[in-house]
Amino acid sequence: MASSLIFRASRRFLKPSSSSSVSLHLDIFNPLSSVQQFATQNRNPSLNPSFKPPQLQNYNFEFRKTVGSLSNFHLVAHVSTWPSKENKNQSGSVSNGGGVDATWVDLYLPKQFQPYARLARLDKPIGTWLLLWPCIWSITMAATPGHLPDFKMMTLFACGALLLRGAGCTINDLLDRDIDTMVERTKLRPVASGVLTPFQGLCFLGFQLLLGLGILLQLNNYSRVLGASSLLLVFSYPLMKRFTFWPQAYLGLTFNWGALLGWAAVKGSLDPSIVLPLYASGVFWTLVYDTIYAHQDKEDDLKVGVKSTALRFGDSTKEWITGFGIACLGGLALSGFNAEIGWPYYASLAVASGHLGWQIWTVDLSSRADCNRNRVLGASSLLLVFSYPLMKRFTFWPQAYLGLTFNWGALLGWAAVKGSLDPSIVLPLYASGVFWTLVYDTIYAHQDKEDDLKVGVKSTALRFGDSTKEWITGFGIACLGGLALSGFNAEIGWPYYASLAVASGHLGWQIWTVDLSSRADCNRKFVSNKWFGAIIFGGVLAGRLSS
């Protein structure tokens, strides 16, 4: 009966056009459906010009009916101007800001808090990660050699990064609300779309800054002054795109302030030989990822008259950001050298340089989706790269963590060519790489086992002890099995499996002839793994040509 009532009401009052559809929602768990939320989900006036957000309230119908044991539930009918299933592919996917692709904000937060969460970009944590990393690098570099970094300090900075990023986004949206309405990617932001008023945004900004002040007061006096001085950058950054083609450089100065603040919070002062190269490398890194990100909006930026490095560099973008990437890595190397950090740091830089190179040379600057994907993948891989050197302090399995880090390229390489991941191929390949790393890096770790015992760090060499050869034999078998499965799923020809047979012989020779008590022999066997990699590569190449 209730459904027939809705049907009659919808026929009588709702006359959808070809570009809109009538949607019926049974809202049991949230009976007070927000009309305002509905209005924000129907922002595009071109789809139905006669409907404006205030008028939409006249076309919402609410019926209350008791049915069986269910009482007081709402049936809500409304006109939806989102693309129907038939034309969705033609119009493209709707941005998350519109509410089509649900995030944790939509699923778990009360409706009245959702606009504020989106204003602080809590549904898009990538910005918080990019703000936090320089802080973590600096705090870790400032730690006493041979000791863990201050985790209380890291936690404070993590909370501070979340709040400061949210405050910066709030300031940006308040100052840019007129521009945001003209940009496709930003027109549905809470202030620009009218879901929140500027006054509500200002109140929320004050709340975030008040919480940030509470965190800042936990630091030493030197850090308090240094931290407070960053607010000048935070408040002025949103204006830079109106005056200069280099707002990304200004964002770099802002986002990487934590490289200075992290060191000062631990040491009580700054060491310019360490923190200035670290800060500069962060600025260059920002110029890489935010120039890529800015290519999403270059057409809209031209229309509204704002500036960016994407517009400044144009077709020369990849050459420019390649230079910035080299400068970033150089700054990180110089900072690490001056801080006297051990060799694992430079191994992580080698992995990071590979990732940065992949990111720069494979990005499709004409694709909004690919520009955004590069930014997200960049931060996710850095989680592994910069946390690996700490693992030997926590676990006897740092070699496994190194495997996760060193073999990330198995995922990136496929994604760079195909634009997506095929789990049936790349996951066995990635796993086989991790097992291979456990073989060769466990052998390598036996060189340092006496020193590791003295200084109190951990490794699989110490974990396995006299059973090392049995363990790494198992890892070798798992490695070869993963390679075989990946090749089978990729439908590679028979030469690939012939190469696996040769590679298995090499791996067996390596494992069963190594003298784990001899540093020289451990190093010799470790170095021989370059031939294992070459054998597999040759097999893949020959197998692909024959298939």
Nearest Cα to Cα of residue 310 among 362, 359, 365, 358: 365
**What pLDDT does residue 278 have?**
94
DSSP assignment string, 24-89: EEEESS--S--HHHHHHT---TTT-TT--HHHHGGG-EEEEEEETTEEEEEEEEEEE-SPPTTTHH
Return the bridge partners of 79, or none: 22
Report how far residue 205's alpha carbon sits from residue 239's, in angstroms, rounded to the nearest whole number.
Answer: 17
CATH code, 113-380: 1.10.357.140
* pLDDT (0 to 100) of residue 453: 83
At 392 the pLDDT is 64
Which pLDDT does position 383 carry in this prediction? 58
The residue ranges of the chain whose pLDDT is under 70 are 1-101, 371-393, 547
* Rounded Cα distance, 200 and 203, in Å: 5
Q: How far is CA 21 from the centre of its chain?
A: 36
Q: Which helix (H) or strand (E) holds 413?
A: helix 409-418
pLDDT (tens digit per residue) in 494-526: 999 999 999 999 999 999 999 999 989 998 999
Q: What DSSP letter does each residue of 359-373 carry, written as one string?
A: HHHH--TT-HHHHHH
Q: Where are the domains of the chain?
A: 113-380, 386-546
Tell me the three-class secondary structure of 242-288, residue by residue. HCCCCHHHHHHHHHCCHHHHHHHHHHCCCCHHHHHHHHHHHHHHHHH
- The pLDDT score that the predictor gives to residue 374 is 55
pTM above 0.75, yes or no: no
Tokens of 269: 């002062």
Question: Are the CB atoms for 169 and 123 separated by under 8 Å?
Answer: no
Main-chain phi, psi angles of 77, to 5 degrees = -115, 140
Separation between Cα atoms, residue 495 and residue 215, nearest integer Å? 61
pLDDT digits (tens, 9 = 90+) for 31-56: 333 434 434 444 444 444 443 443 33
Q: Smallest Cα–Cα separation from 261: which of 253, 285, 383?
A: 253
Torsion of CA 309, 314, 318, 323, to 10 degrees: -50
In this prediction, residue 387 carries a pLDDT of 60
CA atoms within 13 A on the CB side of 256: 22
Packing angle between helix 423-445 and helix 494-513, nearest 10 degrees?
20
Is 329 within 8 Å of 356 (Cβ atoms)?
yes
